[in-house]
Amino acid sequence: MSNVIPCALTIAGSDSSGGAGIQADLKTFQELKCYGMSVLTSVTAQNTTGVQGVHHLPGGMIKQQIDSIYTDIRVDAVKTGMIANIEMMEVIAEAIPGFQAPYVMDPVMVATSGDPLIEPEARDYLCQQLIPMTTVVTPNIAEAAFITKEKIETVADMKEAAKHMVHGFGAGAALIKGGHLQEAAIDVMYDGNKVYTFETDRIPTKNTHGTGCTYSAAITAYLSQGLPLVSAVERSKHYITAAIRHAFDIGEGNGPTNHWAIREEVRQ
């Protein structure tokens, strides 16, 4: 593999402010030394204060983008982010097996306000059809609660929810991100055999826009390089922690994480 460039694909929405979505994924892929490709599902007008508009691409165009990549370029790992409706999900469900590559799902389902971003039937389709295809699904606490329909308030709850997503929904592994807990930044992963915890100090900052996208993109990048899942998550936790520690204070709202922060920390 030393002479082969790892190639990672993101299937997600666009963030016009550059902090999340496709833009965050491609920045992360580049920083972690893999070649990034993208399939656009939705276009958003957004900035650090929120989302001002959304336009979803038709399923046919999403399929055409996927086919263009599939027929020409090897995909070593793939991730999905914002998938707004069943039409998109059906296209993606048909495509994922053909890549024969690790699949990371960042289930963008719930807004920061707590409002659901997809319809109940779309959530059911995602749970029944897409989650069983995943190598790892990476919800935050709100998303995990939305999927499992369980209350998640403690690390113990996170562990049970991760097990539910594996044994109940068929995920290859489930990584539940604990950034919203009022304690240390603890993430919990269950791979069907063992529970792992990944803990760092909580960083006091409001600038966390795109954290989930960036974290899952880092896992995808490391998987594209052939790392085992646990190692990929460990390295990604280090990457996202550095990105949050050196996040940008730009805009009037919640600024983005710093995708090149890891380089600065290595130099220090």
Where are the chain's structural domains? Answer: 7-267
Give the mean pLDDT of 211-216: 96
- Alpha-carbon span 70 to 162, nearest angstrom: 31
Task: Collapse the DSSP code of 15 into the 3-class scheme (helix H, G, I; strand E, B; otherwise coil) and give the result.
Answer: strand
Label each residue of 170-230 as H, E or C.
CCCCEEEECCCCCCCEEEEEECCCCEEEEEECCCCCCCCECHHHHHHHHHHHHHHCCCCHH
> Residue 118: which pLDDT band, with cuts at 50, 70 and 90?
confident
Selected catalytic residue, list 177, 237, 241, 257: 177
Q: Which of 80, 211, 214, 220 is catalytic?
A: 211
Mark whether 212 is an active-site residue. yes
Please state which of the ranges 51-65, 111-125, 155-169 shows the lowest mean pLDDT: 111-125
Query: Which candidate in 212, 214, 237, 257 is catalytic?
Result: 212
Half-sphere exposure of 208 (CA within 13 A, CB side): 14
pLDDT digits (tens, 9 = 90+) for 76-105: 999 999 999 999 999 999 999 999 999 999
Question: What average pLDDT does the structure give for the chain?
Answer: 92
**Sole residue written with tokens 């009022």:** 182
Q: Considering the chain, what percentage of its residues have pLDDT values greater than 70?
A: 93
Point out the catalytic residue in the list 138, 210, 220, 257. 210
| 41-46 average pLDDT score | 93
Question: Is 211 noted as a catalytic residue in this protein?
Answer: yes
Mean pLDDT, to the nearest integer, of 146-150? Answer: 91
Tell me the C-alpha distance between 188 and 173, whole Å.
Answer: 11
Entry pTM: 0.95
CATH architecture of 7-267: 3-Layer(aba) Sandwich (3.40)
Counting residues of the chain whose pLDDT is more than 90, the rounded percentage is 81
Per-residue pLDDT tens for 165-209? 999 999 999 999 987 676 678 999 999 999 999 998 888 899 999
Catalytic residue among 213, 237, 241, 255: 213
Q: What are phi and psi of 154, to 5 degrees?
A: -135, 170
The question of whether 210 is a catalytic residue gets the answer yes
Which is catalytic among the residues 135, 138, 208, 220? 208
Tell me, yes or no, if 208 is annotated catalytic. Answer: yes
